[in-house]
Amino acid sequence: MTSNNRYGEYKQSKNTPVCDTPESDIQQSISQSLSYTREELEKFFSHSHDIVMQPSRYGAAFQYEALSVHCSTIVEEKEVLFLKSAFLDIVAQESEVFHTIEPENIVHFFENRGVTSNRVSIVEALADAVKQIMSGHVVIFFDSWNKALSFNAFSVESRAVNEPITEPVVRGPHDSTTEDLTKNIGLLRTRLRNHLFKIEMFSTGGDCQTTAAFGYLEGAVNPETLKEFKKRLEATKDVEILDTSFIEELIEDSTYSPFPQYRYTERPDTGIAAVLDGKIIVMVSGSPSIMICPGLFAEFFATSEDYYYRTVEATLLRQLRIIAFFMALMLPSIYIAMSTFHSELIPTVLLMAVLETREGIPFPALVEALLMEFFFELLREAGIRLPRPVGSAVSIVGALVIGQAAIQAKIASPIMIIIVALTGIASFSMPQYSLGVALRVLRFPLMILSGTLGGFGLMMGLLFIHLHLTSLRSLGQPYLATFAPLRIRELRDVWIRAPLKTLLRSPRNKHMHKQRKS
């Protein structure tokens, strides 16, 4: 065997052409001439210093050549052993002597699928070989053979399985998904060991060639929903995909709707619960997020922990989130409308207290609320973008200092500071961050309507939101399903969380019942 030759170490002469060959120009079969194949690979991988081309010789007089190609930054350290391992497999099964192996033995053994000690696949096109190399495979080319062997040697350091960052756990499993797609699928498989749990993998197009996967439980998922999902997914296969959110925006029904149409999670137990409920989950290599679709409005108020608590506790927490939703959406608007247009609706004692706190404030309630909401959103964004140890301190101290300074400077009243703080706390209680963002977007138009038209403007805004929700679809399903159309039996897992013995005996998937009974 000859020593390693890194492509970047001997392709530095001034006469070396810069390769700008697109992938369409190498859509050809592998040549039987190893020297020609090497020239094509050198053109394609020009200026890629982590591409290693390792020539080797074998045979009785070392008269035959082989070329091992891999990307050193994404493969295991033992990649040089694959060629030796392949020869040992041939010797063991065809009773050959190691030094007498010829190209005919290699072709006969691998084209007839001989038993190998490593996972190997046969590559026929040069473009496929290049794609395999960039995916962490070791590809070995042989002289006088128009195919190549591809060994999976991908190895990149990944984050260990820790507690979920975006979904803190009080009760229940404490593991979370990572950026490793294979590891994430394994976490799901360990919880749902059923042959009906299907995982389909695909590669996206463009330059990234990202690997993605979607899973569903056969017999539980709605066949029409699955068909529609696959149809929309076809439109994403020629697009650069870096995260599951890219797929979300490409397949969602309404791009400009403020309401999220799909849910996200980093918890494997939440993903499996969704699959058992007939949902489709989507994962992308390099992203820890699991996208759950379709996402219905009522499901954004539930968490996996609801099913780990007793019924009374879970019901109380869920109703608390529903109340927080309306507070985050309407509390500033109600205050603006009542203090500006409908002060007669406020009890006299409370009204006098409000007027006393507003004495000396130069702004109307609408401007005051918009200013405080703007400062609060600015502090929240700063807390997210700053390093974690600093961010929380800046958010808390900044809110205290600015709030106290605004009151002393007569820019805002104490009651407005309290309302803005309660609104922010209510938005933080949403299980899905995307729903909290939607409330932040809708809050400002409602405040403006309340400040200009009073209660009538607020009712108009709520009516428009309701009309939008009733017309919205998630993967073709009504967004307000359970409410519109009304499904009374499913309400036991919306406003309340019925006992598990009731939910487990009567799952909400009607089609799952029919298929399993038949």
pLDDT in single tens digits along all 518 residues of the chain: 333 433 333 333 333 333 344 444 555 788 888 889 999 898 888 888 888 898 888 877 788 888 989 888 888 765 457 777 777 777 766 655 656 677 888 888 887 776 566 678 888 889 889 988 988 888 999 888 888 988 888 877 777 788 888 888 888 888 899 988 989 999 999 999 888 999 999 888 777 788 899 999 998 899 999 999 999 988 777 888 888 989 999 899 898 999 999 999 999 999 999 999 899 999 999 899 999 999 999 999 988 888 888 899 999 999 999 999 999 999 999 999 998 898 888 888 888 888 888 888 888 889 999 998 998 888 888 877 877 666 666 766 777 777 788 888 888 888 888 899 899 899 988 999 999 999 999 999 999 999 999 999 999 999 999 999 999 999 989 999 888 888 777 788 888 888 887 777 644 444 444 444 44
Characterize the bridge pairing of strands 211-217 and 280-284.
antiparallel
Residue 28 lies in a domain: no
Q: Are 82 and 206 within one domain?
A: no
Report pLDDT for 505: 61
What is the token pair recorded at 249?
Answer: 């925006």
pTM of the shown model: 0.79
Tell me if 417 is assigned to some domain: yes
Considering the domain architecture, whether residues 326 and 471 belong to the same structural domain is answered as yes
Crossing angle of the two packed helices 126-133 and 34-44, in degrees rounded to 10: 50
What one-character DSSP code corresponds to residue 111? H
Q: Is residue 487 part of a domain?
A: no
pLDDT at res. 293:
92
Question: Does 169 reside within a domain?
Answer: no
Chain centroid offset of residue 102 CA: 48
Sequence-distant (6+) residues with CB within 8 A of 364 are: 340, 451
Alpha-carbon gap, residue 431 to 279, rounded angstroms: 18
Contact 512, 278 (CB under 8 A): yes
113 burial level (CB within 10 Å; 0-12, 13-18, 19+): exposed
Strands (E), 59-196: 64-71, 120-123, 137-142, 148-152
Q: How many CB atoms lie within 10 A of CB 389?
A: 7
Same domain, 252 and 318: no
Q: Are strands 137-142 and 290-293 parallel, antiparallel or unpaired?
A: unpaired
358 with 443, same domain: the answer is: yes
- C-alpha 62/C-alpha 180 separation (Å) is 41
Q: Are residues 277 and 420 in the same domain?
A: no
Within this chain, do residues 350 and 454 fall inside the same structural domain, yes or no? yes
Residue 513 lies in a domain: no
Range of the domain at 330: 308-478
Euclidean distance between CA atoms 508 and 518, whole angstroms: 17
Instruction: Note the pLDDT of residue 75.
Output: 83
Q: Identify the pLDDT of residue 206.
A: 72
pLDDT at 3: 39
How many other C-beta atoms can be found within 10 angstroms of the C-beta atom of residue 333? 27
Q: What is the DSSP letter of 175?
A: -
Please identify, among 295, 323, 348, the residue that sits at the C-terminal boundary of a domain.
295
Of 334, 371, 373, the closest CA to residue 354 belongs to 334
Q: Per residue in 272-302, is it b (16+ CB within 10 Å) or e — as a string?
A: bbbbbbbbbbbbbbbbbbbbbbbbbbbbbbb
Q: Which two tokens stand for residue 428?
A: 């933080």
442 in Cβ contact with 373 (< 8 Å): no
* Residues 186, 259 within the same domain: yes
How many domains in the chain? 3
**Hey, which residues does 71 pair with through a beta bridge?**
51
Integer Cα distance of 441 and 258 in angstroms: 7
What phi and psi, each to the nearest 5 degrees, are found at residue 67?
Answer: -135, 120
Give the pLDDT confidence score for residue 9 in this predicted structure: 35
Question: Nearest to residue 151, comparing CAs of 64, 208, 79?
Answer: 79
- Co-location of 50 and 129 in the same domain: yes
Q: Is residue 509 a part of any domain in this protein?
A: no
Q: For residues 61 and 95, state if they share a domain.
A: yes
pLDDT at 356: 84
366: tokens are 């609408």
330: CB partners within 8 A, 6+ apart = 446, 458, 462
CB 177 within 8 A of CB 290: yes
- Tokens 């082989």 belong to which residue? 66
Do 79 and 70 form a contact (C-beta atoms < 8 A)?
Answer: yes
Predicted pLDDT at 508: 47
Structure tokens at 221: 């998922």
Both tokens of 505, joined, read 């005996």
pLDDT given for residue 268 in this prediction: 92
- The structure tokens 């507070």 sit at 327
Residues 388 and 247 in one domain: no
**How far lies 136's CA from each of 52, 110, 156, 255, in Å?**
12, 21, 9, 36
Does 141 map to a domain?
yes
Q: Is residue 244 part of a domain?
A: yes
pLDDT at 19: 38
Are 395 and 257 in a shared domain?
no
Q: Could you give the CA distance from residue 164 to residue 442 in angstroms, rounded to a whole number?
A: 28
User: Given 295, 325, 346, which residue is the final one in a domain?
Assistant: 295
**Pairwise CA distance, residues 273 & 110, whole Å:** 43
pLDDT at position 518? 42
Let me know whether 385 and 470 are in one domain.
Answer: yes
